[in-house]
Amino acid sequence: MGQYTAPLRDIQFVMHELLDITSVLKQIPQHVDVDADVINQVVEEGGKFAAKVLFPLNQIGDREGCHLDTTTHKVTTPTGFADAYRQFVDGGWGALACDPEYGGQGLPVFVNNCIYEMMNSANQAWTMYPGLSHGAYECIHAHGTPEQKTTYLPHLTSGEWTGTMCLTESHCGTDLGLLRTKAEPQMDGSYKLTGGKIFISAGEHEMSSNIVHLVLARLPGAPKGTKGISLFIVPKYLPNADGSVGARNTITCGAIEEKMGIHGNSTCQMNLDEATGWLIGEGGKGLNAMFVMMNAARLGVGMQSLGLTEVSYQNALVYAKDRLQMRSLSGPKAPDKEADPIIVHPDVRRMLLSNKAYAEGGRAFTYFIAMQIDLELGHPDPAVRKDAGDLVALLTPIVKAFVTENGWIGTSEAMQVFGGHGYISEWGMEQYVRDARINMIYEGTNAIQSLDLLGRKILPDNGAKLKKFGALVEAFIKENMADEAMKEFIEPLADVAEKVGKLTMEIGMKAFQNPDEVGAAAVPYLRVVGHMVYSYFFARMAKIALAKQASGDTFYVAKLATTRFYFARLLPEIAMLVRQARSGSKVLLDLDAALF
């Protein structure tokens, strides 16, 4: 079954020592009273919920999966999932970062982010149910009418109702401009929606009294492409005037997708047969409204992979310390035993440290973004809000793509530590690999994220957003370049920052002549920028650890060792990536498609 313990020491290090989150929150009027004690208490209790309630259900959910009654269209979730959800609701966990006007606790997004890391470590498939609901809450909160907010937000905040987003159709994935679901206006201001959606996570289940589907569809006469898409609220049960659950709507689950992983989440094919819905936002601008939920989901997917990276590392570490296999090449390290524990072997160390570094780098990065979201939403200075928003826009595709790719690498390395046992289900490691693989695909594949980063976030504004993050890097380099102890971290950070600048300019010049150059370079380019981001946070963490390593707390010794490993063994990947990005589109496109 394995184990999971919330990594509270490292979480608190990132929150308080790296990011000094309480000082940042004091700049935001609605969070001025949120102090370190409040944050620590909430996070500690969240860790207990994740470890004690959710983690024991992870393998159960994987084995049992979800089951559809094709007669009633009802889906049953795995044993224990519904009870865990009731505990989640009773504990008020879903309301943490929601607006107090609708029953929320009004805590920062930052705190909610910490909770979701731990819940994803414990049980990604289960965590997708409330995670998607929070995204639906955010979308309606941003674009709903006052009546829609009053009707839906209190129920989504409490967790009494859950939410989904219904985008994909069988003939189109990322290219939503091709979708065919239709919405016909009715005399009472509602719409009748007809069509089919696939890959709808948490699309049908018995854990909540209602499910609020956010559905993309076309109005009559809508133009082709994305400009013709509108967004609709389509509840499973139609709300009564008093907010209670009313008649069953005609949106039903036709099948559950048979998939590689996250078996505990009901990934559904949803059929709409003149289902009643209401327009949210403006007609023809549905994708703009849905992007609120999509961006939240992309950050959430990054947290999923961070969670899996951490839990797979924890279990691989325990195994490596316990498993006896051969002797160290430099002589026995456990002479009282018949063989040495495998943690003495260099390559086992490499695998463990890779996973550990990707977890710690990912935690610093994603927590920083959550902090920027709080600044964007609540800081009184418009300039601060603008800068924070630009950083969030720039870094979101990197979270989704870089963190998930590292999660795939990390879980694979963790499984490898177990040798043959890692391939056996009872140890739980192969489930992490299977679950991690979807994170590189859904909510926009990582190639799409790479195109978004380069083609939408960087080149159109001549790198203005990238320069805002670059200014943070440059300031840190200048502040520490004279510190001899920091030289081993500052020099490679400066090198990767320089490479990013030159590579960006080079690709931009090529793109003027041939737009395919963007597509050819985008994927390796994103990883290069991702490594610049991680290098910045690792260098900052190293500075703190250097100052405190003599304190006697071995945490800082380990932090320095992990940082040195990252710079020595993981960062050098950029040499290959830069060459790939510069290789151009010709080598990819010269071969006629018929000759493949």
Q: Which positions are catalytic?
A: 443
Give ∠ CA 379-380-381 in degrees, rounded to 5.
95
| Distance from C-alpha of 97 to C-alpha of 260, rounded to nearest angstrom | 32
Residue 212, amino acid: V
Give ∠ CA 398-452-175 in degrees, rounded to 5.
125
| Distance from C-alpha of 42 to C-alpha of 115, rounded to nearest angstrom | 8
Q: Which residues, 6 or more positions from 282, have their beta carbon under 8 angstroms from its beta carbon?
A: 230, 289
Burial 23-45 (b: 16+ CB within 10 A, else e): ebbeebeebeebeeeebeebbee
Element (DSSP H or E) covering residue 539: helix 516-548
* Residue 159 burial (CB count, 10 A): 25
What is the DSSP secondary-structure string of 57-68? GHHHHHHH--EE
| Distance from C-alpha of 82 to C-alpha of 80, rounded to nearest angstrom | 6
* Residue 478 burial (CB count, 10 A): 11
Return phi, psi of residue 178, to 5°.
-90, 0
Q: Give residue 42's Cα distance to chain centre.
A: 21
